[in-house]
C-alpha cells in the first residue's frame, strides 16, 4: 500500500561546454559516483539516478519536461560541479513541477594543498558555480531546498533522506484520493475547508460517498472471511474474555471484522488511500468503525474522524513519509489535560488511534460508546510508547493552508488507567504546555492532528515547502511575542505572495 521500490530522485549535474570534453567526462564520473553513494545510503529511501551532465538550455528544458511526466521521479537533486551559466536553466526550471533540491557539495572533501593547481580549481568550483545557480532560484522565486555539505557526510544523507521522504509523500498526494463517508460533524469549523483549493494546491482529491455504498460492501462479506479475520484478531491482540470464541460478546467481534472487510474492500474498489467517517452518519452500520479504522491506519491509510478530510490527507502524508522507519504514526486529538508539573496532554479519540504507536501488545475490547446510538464498538486499547514525536495540524486560512507542527515528548504513563476504554498517548509539548497551547491556539491549530514518532519537524517543513504551505513550528525556541509577530508577517506575506 506504500511502496518506495520504484520511486527515484534524479541527480542533475550542471556544467557548460567551455571546459572541453575531458573536464565534462570527469564531471560525469563524479556525478555518477555521488549518485551511487547516495543510492546505497541507508538513509536515502529511494533510488538516486544520475542524469547526463547538463550543458545547454534545450537539454535542461527536456529533462524537466521528462521529470514532470515521469511516474517515478519524486524530485530533482541539482548540483553545479563547475560553473553553469544559469540563464540556460530558466526555461527548464520555469516548467519544472517536481520538487527541487540544491545539493551544495564538492567531489573533493579536502583541498590538496601541496598539489593544487588551476586544473583542480577549474574542476572543483561548486563554491561559486552553485552560487550562480542559487541566484536563478532566488530570482525566479523557486520553491527549493538547499543542503550544504560533503556528499559522504551522514548528516547530509540524513537531510537528503528527510527531504526525499517528504518528496515521496508529495508524489503520493498528487494522486491521492480521500474517500469521505458523511459530512463534517455538526457545525465544526476547523475541520471544514475548501476542497477545490486543496486539489489545486495540495494535489489530493476529496470524494464524497454515501455510507450506503460502504454498507453494501459490508453486506457482501462472507462468514468465512469474517472467521478468518477474527482468528487473526485472536492471534494478534490480547482479546477481552467476552470477545473470545464462545464469549458473550463474540458477535460484536464478528461484526467489527465484517465492517473492516467491507471498509477495506470499499477503499480498494474506489482507489482511496485515505478516508473519513462520522458517528453521525452510520445508517446501516451496526457499529462505528473502531478496530477497522485502527488496523487500516496501521496498514498506511490516512484517516480523519468526523469528516475531517484535511487531517486524513495529513495522516496519509505522514504515513508515507515514515514508511520503513521505526515509531509509527496516528490520527490524534488533544483530549484532556493534566495541569500540574507544567502540564501534560492526554491525547486519544473515541476509538481511532493507530496501533503503530503502541507500547506492547494492544488489547481488543468492547465498550459502550455514549454517542452515535449504535451497538458497542470493538476497539484496540493501548498506550503509546514514550519518546520524541511531532504533532501536526493543517487548517484552511481561506487564502492558504497552514501547517502547524509541535515537537512533543511522549511520556511513559506511570498510572494504570483501568477505566479508560480507548487508546491513548500522554505527552509534554515543547517548550511547555503553556507556550505550546498559546501558540497553537493563536495559530488556529485544530484539535485533530497527525502524530508521528518516526518523523521530525524537518520532514514536515520540507513537505510544506514543496506544497507552498505556510508552516509554523512550535518547539523549544518558541517565544510567544515572536510567534505572534510571525503570524502577522505571514498574513501579510500570503496576502501579497501571488504578486511576487
Ligand atoms: Mn474528534
Tens of pLDDT, residue by residue over 356-403, are 999 999 999 999 988 778 999 999 999 999 999 999 999 999 999 999
User: Chain-centre distance of CA 110, in angstroms?
Assistant: 37
Cα(450) to centroid(ligand 1), Å:
12
Instruction: Quote the pLDDT of residue 499.
Output: 65
Q: What is the Cα–Cα distance from 177 to 179, expressed in whole angstroms?
A: 6
Cα(333) to centroid(ligand 1), Å:
6
pLDDT band for position 16 (cuts 50, 70, 90): very high
Predicted TM-score (pTM) of this structure: 0.97
The answer to whether 422 and 351 are in contact (CB under 8 A) is: yes
Cα(353) to centroid(ligand 1), Å:
11
Instruction: Quote the pLDDT of residue 500.
Output: 65
Cα(451) to centroid(ligand 1), Å:
14
Cα(305) to centroid(ligand 1), Å:
6
The whole-number average pLDDT for the span 309-318 is 98
* Phi-psi category of residue 174: left, alpha or beta, with phi > 0 → left and psi -120 to 50 → alpha: alpha
Q: What is the pLDDT of residues 249-276, one digit of tens each?
A: 999 999 999 999 999 999 999 999 999 9
How buried is residue 69: exposed, middle or buried, by Cβ count under 10 Å (0-12/13-18/19+)?
exposed
Cα(495) to centroid(ligand 1), Å:
31
Cα(173) to centroid(ligand 1), Å:
23
Instruction: Quote the pLDDT of residue 497.
Output: 84
The answer to whether 101 and 77 are in contact (CB under 8 A) is: yes
- DSSP letter at 136 equals H
Q: What percent of the chain has pLDDT over 70?
A: 100
Cα(304) to centroid(ligand 1), Å:
8
Cα(490) to centroid(ligand 1), Å:
28
Residues 6+ apart with CB under 8 A from 159: 147, 149, 458
Instruction: Quote the pLDDT of residue 420.
Output: 97
Cα(424) to centroid(ligand 1), Å:
13
The CA distances from residue 495 to 139, 319, 453, 491, 492, in Å, are 20, 32, 34, 6, 5
Cα(132) to centroid(ligand 1), Å:
49
pLDDT band for position 96 (cuts 50, 70, 90): very high
Please count the other Cβ atoms lying within 10 Å of the Cβ belonging to residue 329: 32
Q: Give the CB-side neighbour count of residue 353, counting CA atoms within 13 A.
A: 30
Cα(89) to centroid(ligand 1), Å:
47
Cα(24) to centroid(ligand 1), Å:
58
Cα(192) to centroid(ligand 1), Å:
13
- Annotate 81-124 with DSSP letters as a single string: SS---GGGGHHHHHH--S-EEEEE--S-SS--TTT--HHHHHHS
Cα(498) to centroid(ligand 1), Å:
34
Residue with cell 489535560: 337
Cα(459) to centroid(ligand 1), Å:
25
Q: What are phi and psi of 8, to 5 degrees?
A: -145, 155
Amino acid at each position: 500500500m506504500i511502496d518506495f521500490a520504484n520511486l527515484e530522485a534524479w541527480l542533475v549535474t550542471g556544467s557548460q561546454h567551455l571546459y572541453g570534453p575531458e573536464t565534462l567526462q570527469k564531471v560525469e564520473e563524479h556525478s555518477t559516483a555521488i549518485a551511487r553513494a547516495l543510492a546505497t545510503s541507508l538513509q536515502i529511501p529511494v533510488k538516486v539516478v544520475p542524469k547526463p551532465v547538463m550543458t545547454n538550455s534545450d537539454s535542461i528544458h527536456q529533462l524537466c519536461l521528462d521529470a514532470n511526466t515521469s511516474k517515478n521521479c519524486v524530485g530533482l537533486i541539482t548540483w553545479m560541479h563547475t560553473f553553469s551559466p544559469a540563464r540556460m536553466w530558466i526555461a527548464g526550471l520555469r516548467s519544472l513541477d517536481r520538487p527541487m533540491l540544491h545539493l551544495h557539495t564538492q567531489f573533493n572533501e579536502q583541498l590538496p594543498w601541496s598539489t593544487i593547481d588551476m586544473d583542480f580549481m577549474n574542476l572543483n568550483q561548486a563554491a561559486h558555480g552553485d552560487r550562480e545557480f542559487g541566484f536563478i532560484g532566488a530570482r525566479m522565486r523557486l520553491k527549493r531546498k538547499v543542503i550544504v555539505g560533503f556528499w559522504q557526510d551522514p548528516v547530509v544523507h540524513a537531510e537528503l533522506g528527510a527531504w526525499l521522504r517528504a518528496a515521496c509523500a508529495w508524489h503520493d498526494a498528487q494522486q491521492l484520493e480521500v474517500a469521505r463517508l458523511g459530512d463534517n460533524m455538526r457545525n465544526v469549523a476547523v475541520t471544514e475547508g475548501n476542497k477545490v483549493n486543496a486539489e489545486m494546491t495540495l494535489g489530493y482529491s476529496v470524494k464524497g460517498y454515501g455510507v450506503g455504498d460502504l454498507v453494501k460492501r459490508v453486506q457482501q462479506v462472507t462468514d468465512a472471511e469474517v472467521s478468518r479475520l477474527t482468528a487473526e484478531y485472536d492471534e494478534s491482540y490480547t482479546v477481552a474474555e467476552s470477545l473470545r470464541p464462545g464469549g458473550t460478546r463474540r458477535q460484536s467481534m464478528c461484526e467489527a471484522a465484517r465492517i473492516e472487510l467491507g471498509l477495506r474492500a470499499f477503499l480498494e474498489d474506489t482507489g482511496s488511500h485515505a478516508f473519513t467517517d462520522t458517528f453521525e452518519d452510520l445508517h446501516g452500520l451496526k457499529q462505528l468503525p473502531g478496530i477497522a479504522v485502527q488496523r487500516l491506519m496501521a496498514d498506511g491509510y490516512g484517516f480523519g474522524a468526523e469528516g475531517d478530510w484535511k487531517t486524513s490527507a495529513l495522516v496519509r502524508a505522514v504515513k508515507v513519509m515514515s514508511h520503513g522507519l521505526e515509531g509509527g504514526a496516528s490520527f490524534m486529538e488533544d483530549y484532556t489535560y493534566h495541569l500540574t508539573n507544567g502540564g501534560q496532554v492526554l491525547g486519544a479519540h473515541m476509538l481511532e488511534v493507530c496501533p503503530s504507536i503502541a507500547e506492547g501488545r494492544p488489547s481488543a475490547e468492547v465498550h459502550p460508546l455514549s454517542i452515535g446510538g449504535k451497538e458497542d464498538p470493538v476497539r484496540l486499547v493501548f498506550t503509546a510508547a514514550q519518546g520524541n514525536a511531532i504533532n501536526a495540524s493543517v487548517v484552511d486560512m481561506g487564502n492558504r493552508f497552514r501547517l502547524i507542527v509541535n515537537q512533543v515528548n511522549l511520556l511513559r504513563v506511570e498510572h494504570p488507567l483501568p477505566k479508560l476504554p480507548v487508546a491513548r498517548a500522554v505527552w509534554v509539548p515543547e517548550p511547555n504546555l503553556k507556550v505550546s497551547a498559546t501558540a497553537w491556539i493563536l495559530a488556529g491549530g485544530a484539535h485533530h492532528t497527525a502524530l508521528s514518532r518516526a518523523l521530525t519537524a524537518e520532514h514536515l517543513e520540507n513537505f510544506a515547502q514543496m506544497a507552498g504551505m505556510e508552516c509554523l513550528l512550535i518547539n523549544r525556541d518558541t517565544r510567544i511575542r515572536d510567534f505572534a509577530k510571525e503570524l502577522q508577517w505571514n498574513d501579510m506575506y500570503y496576502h501579497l505572495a501571488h504578486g511576487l
